[in-house]
Structure 1
């Protein structure tokens, strides 16, 4: 599979993210009592809505969808409309890690950098933060996540903190694109599923 570059002018009206938590649930037919087992992994589903655009911007989208070849290749979907912070630091994994937390370094010292509910991308995995990122006097911080990392992260892996992304594919293929009589591309929507 190829990682296809995302259009340089996203023109998103919205990016709707839904975390899918894998669980096995049994409900009693007699009492409606529930037993649930957390399967220990999850993924993201996304729905993207793109605004109407000029024919010049539409060409870039046509090329993008053509290169994806339907559900064959993957892309990096931006998940924030603006940068989450204005720093120029590069955070990295501090030692190999996995599970619901990750030691990291390279942050500004003694500050609150990101808030619970913000996103980071670690090793091409989009992760939602479960607690605020408060750094210590040496620029270290432990990241806590809502869901576990699906694979082990190597020491020194870059953590995208400013403009996190979802590595995704198109489960329904490319949307229909319609050029109207004013030579404008109508707005369109497409579904995306996390690729890993």
Structure 2
């Protein structure tokens, strides 16, 4: 799998971001009570949307090349999922002692402040090369040494290495197209239309 770089941030007119978090439900035939068991590592992000129409043939060509270069579902690309999250704060890195679960220790943050709030997003680089998008479920508050522990969902699925990159300025999902058939639409007035329907590229 190669990571294909789009010619510009995807000019999506609308964007849908969904998290599929599978579980197994066991229901008693006698009492009707249920027990639901999560499946750690099985969660995946789904992102879809449509482009604003492109009326200029020259501007449409790089996007045609991008979609063809994806080779259906074979290759991946990054898509930004946050709105206006870029901050003056630099990106932190992972501290030693991480886990594959729902927390990760960070370093390199500004000292003694709330850096991000619950609901903000981060992208954590994992040993396999995957870039895992997570959503904070608690505010990220640093100590006097610029360290903090991020609490989020879904699970990372791998233990990140100390020093691994963590993107908080422009969080993104690493995705691939959901279908083998990709393309575009255009009218007689050369208004090109592109759309994406993707899932996380693990």
Q: TM-score, normalised by structure 1?
A: 0.91
Question: Partner residue of 1:189?
Answer: 195
Unmatched 5+ stretches in structure 2: 126-130
1:6 touches 1:77 (CA, 8 Å); kept in 2? no
Report the CA distance between 1:21 and its aligned residue.
1.2
Q: Matches of residues 28-67 of structure 1 in structure 2 within 5 Å?
A: 28-29=28-29, 31-41=31-41, 42-54=43-55, 55-67=57-69
Question: Partner residue of 2:10?
Answer: 10
2:90 touches 2:169 (CA, 8 Å); kept in 1? no
Q: Matches of residues 80-159 of structure 1 in structure 2 within 5 Å?
A: 80-82=82-84, 84-98=85-99, 99-123=101-125, 124-159=131-166
Aligned equivalents of 2:152 and 2:87: distance in 1?
A: 22
Unmatched 5+ stretches in structure 1: none
Deviates more, 1:148-157 or 1:173-182: 173-182
Classify 1:166/1:174 alpha carbon distance in 2 versus 1 (closer, same or farther; 3 Å): farther
Deviates more, 1:72-81 or 1:118-127: 72-81
Matched residues, number: 194
Q: Matches of residues 160-175 of structure 1 in structure 2 within 5 Å?
A: 160-175=167-182
The answer to whether structure 1 residue 21 and structure 2 residue 21 are counterparts is yes
What's the CA shift string for 1:13-72, capped at 9, x where partnerless? 222111111211123455542221111121111112221123333212111111110011
Classify 1:101/1:9 alpha carbon distance in 2 versus 1 (closer, same or farther; 3 Å): closer
The answer to whether structure 1 residue 180 and structure 2 residue 182 are counterparts is no
Classify 1:125/1:171 alpha carbon distance in 2 versus 1 (closer, same or farther; 3 Å): same
What's the CA shift string for 1:133-191, capped at 9, x where partnerless? 111111111000122111110000110001111111112135441222222213x4321
Q: TM-score, normalised by structure 2?
A: 0.88
CA RMSD between the two structures: 1.7
